[in-house]
Chains A and B, each alone.
Chain A
Amino acid sequence: MSEAKKTQLSRRDFLKIVGIAGVTVQAGGLVASGVAAGKDSETYTGWESFNPGTQFFNRKPFEFEGPAHTPSGPVTRPSHLTDYVFGRVAIFQKGLQDHPDWKLGDPIEAMGFPPPLTKFYQTFPERLEWDYKTFTETIPNNKMDTKLYGNYYMLANAYSSGFETHGAYLPSPKTPPEVSDFTKFARGMPEPTPIGPQVPFKSPELASDFIKEIAHRYGATLVGITKTKIDFFYSEGWAGCPADYDFTKLPEHWQYAIVIGVPMEWDSVLASPQASTSYEAYDRVSTAAIRLEGALKYMGYAARSNTPMTSYDLIVPPFAVEAGLGEVSRPGYCITPEVGSNCRTAVVVTNMPLAVDKPIDFGVAAFCNSCKICADQCPSGAISKANSPQEQEWTSGSSIRGYEHWYINNGACYNFWRESMGPMGCRLCVAVCPYSRKDNWVHQFVREVDPRDPTGFTRETLLWMQKNFFEKPQAIEYRRVAAGGHFASYRPEPSWMHAESYLNIPITSPHTGG
């Protein structure tokens, strides 16, 4: 009897065994639930969403009285001829075609560039070297690489092309602001018609609320409002304006800037620089802006969209920062709390009276000073590795156009664009940025804790983990094969971009050479 009692399981022993089993079940359940949380499509913030819930970060505790940009020296406005890389390289390309014997080291004046561009190249001689290299080396190399490896990126290019094609149908202003901004297109009307009388709102605050609501419903992930400032408008070349247009002052109706932003798709953007595409967000943000322009004009207010698929009369990041969307980052664009660097922006300028937002400080400046991951990863060296914007190696003096801020070498950046494969562009700095992450609990936790930690301990711990835990290619690996790379991407292309799985064509992988 006593022997039988000894082998019988007591209630307490049973409880302890159940406890051990519970730990095992919880461990398995937590890992499985974590995997589900990591894959959840709900974490793809703003991708193809049309509701205000995408702007979920409470900005109130981080707001400050603007402006976020204060001049530190004589202010000059950005130029389509110099600062805008596509405008500059187009002129450079034309110059090279007209002067095919011109070589680096020859007098730049011989190229017959507009005086501001000649002066720019004299001030920033490394930009001249990069632009020259782009057309004499990089583009010819890229043509050879495309013959070899182009088929590997066929599906990525086809995907991108869908957005690019739609974007090409979006209208750019064809007449000066005094005409185009006061006329609207309507279905069945071959010519634009004048907008009607202004419909007054009860208050600017209510007008802003309404504009933000519909902006989200038009596809904007983020929206903020600020006043316009001439310092950040191009000094020439506004869409639809003749060369003799008076660019020295803003049209009276360009009073408010409504800034909107959308992300690129979260999986494909991680396949930067080769397989991702900017066009998916360019198309969406441009479409949302033009919809918004239509709504403003319907209510009788002048409006003009500045979008990546149509035209820009201004540079967007300063307006995005002033409108409280985020903060300026090391690569010069705006980092936002919700989508990090993965934010493509557009601006609608209007004369509708609106309540403006305040800029925010949620710790990006300190983070960027310390992080440098984008600068270390960038294979072109276009992003400064300095400890602060004031210490950048390629600024003339302590400011750019009168403001102290980060400034990339866009000649080097563009050069690598033209070297990379797949859809045009790079986006590597967006992909590697620790802020550009999907909205799962890990990143929600970090997003809320880091800006509230005055000691910087959270930031430094996160950076340590980011640099030591997350695998990434060496910068050289992103480059072309002949330059010692293998056209690496930050993360592998999504499986639906694998041309060899779908297409019956000869495919050579740059990663394996076969």
Chain B
Amino acid sequence: MFLNGSLFWYMMGIIFVVIAFAFKAFVEDRGWVLTWWKGLIAVVTYTIFSLSLYAWGTLVGENESGAGFKFFLLGLFVTLVLAVVLWRFLSAKPKNA
């Protein structure tokens, strides 16, 4: 089945690379510095967001829609917290600026 197959995940991987480059462009255009650890936080944040979506779908497939949605909301909350933290780190001016 396509949605469980290798081709699907190859495509997801390619899209992820595009998203990563787009994010880099977005950060640089705002004049921010994307260090390795800020990039790592960005990857973790996006992974948690992706996993919450995937888990939501999986639980829907298991006929546990209610639990899936709550799980997604929990993941979304963690994602938002991390995203705010990341935004603050990215937009912070260096101390000697």
Contacts and interface: CB of A to CB of B under 8 A. Distances in A.
Interface of A: 12, 15-16, 18-20, 22-23, 25-27, 29-40, 438, 440-442, 465, 468-471, 491
Contacts of B57: 30-38
B40 interface: no
30 contacts: A12-B25, A15-B18, A16-B22, A16-B25, A19-B21, A19-B22, A22-B16, A22-B22, A29-B11, A30-B12, A31-B57, A31-B60, A32-B3, A33-B3, A33-B8, A33-B54, A34-B54, A34-B55, A34-B57, A34-B61, A35-B60, A36-B1, A36-B3, A37-B4, A37-B61, A38-B58, A39-B62, A40-B4, A469-B70, A469-B71
A37 B70 contact: no
Interface string B16-41: 10110111011001000000000000
Contacts of A34: 53-61
Of A16, A27, A469, A470, chain B has the most CB atoms within 10 Å of the CB of: A469
A162 to B, nearest CB: 24
Contacts of A468: 70
B26 to A, nearest CB: 5
Which has the most chain A C-beta neighbours within 10 Å: B21, B22, B60, B66? B22
B43 to A, nearest CB: 14
A2 to B, nearest CB: 20
Contacts of B25: 12, 15-16, 19
Interface string B42-60: 0000000010011111111
Most central of B3, B18, B21, B61 by chain A CB within 10 Å? B61
A39 B60 CA distance: 9
B47 to A, nearest CB: 11
A20 B63 contact: no
B16 A440 contact: no
B62 A438 contact: yes
B10 to A, nearest CB: 12
B58 A441 contact: yes
Contacts of B56: 31, 34
Contacts of A33: 3-4, 8, 54, 57
B59 A38 contact: yes
Give the one of A18, A32, A38, A440 with max B CB within 10 A: A38
A18 B3 contact: no
B26 A19 contact: yes
A469 B62 CA distance: 14
Contact of A38 (B8, B12, B60, B71): B60
A441 B22 CA distance: 29
A25 B16 CA distance: 10
A124 B47 CA distance: 55
Contacts of A465: 67, 71, 74
A468 B69 CA distance: 12
Q: Which 7 A-B pairs have the closest CB atoms?
A: A38-B61, A19-B22, A34-B57, A36-B3, A31-B57, A469-B67, A34-B58
B80 interface: no
Contacts of B50: 26-27, 30
A33 B4 CA distance: 6
Contacts of B18: 15, 18-19, 22
Contacts of B81: none
A12, A34, A35: residue with the most chain B Cβ atoms closer than 10 Å? A34
A16 B8 CA distance: 23
Given A34-B57, A34-B59, A35-B58, 5 more contacts: A12-B29, A34-B58, A441-B58, A442-B58, A468-B70
B78 interface: no
B26 A39 contact: no
A470 to B, nearest CB: 5
A465 B3 CA distance: 27
Contact of A442 (B4, B12, B59): B59
B67 A440 contact: no
A25 B22 CA distance: 14
B54 A20 contact: no
Nearest to A36: B3
Contacts of B1: 36, 40
Nearest to A494: B63
Contacts of A20: 22
A150 to B, nearest CB: 26
B21 A15 contact: yes
Contacts of A37: 4, 54, 57-58, 61
B58 A22 contact: no
Contacts of A19: 18-19, 21-23, 25-26
Nearest to B59: A38
Nearest to A440: B58
A497 B88 CA distance: 55
Contacts of A35: 3, 57-58, 60-61
Q: Which of A26, A441, A470 has its CB near the most chain B CB atoms (within 10 A)?
A: A26
Contacts of A25: 15
A19 B4 CA distance: 23
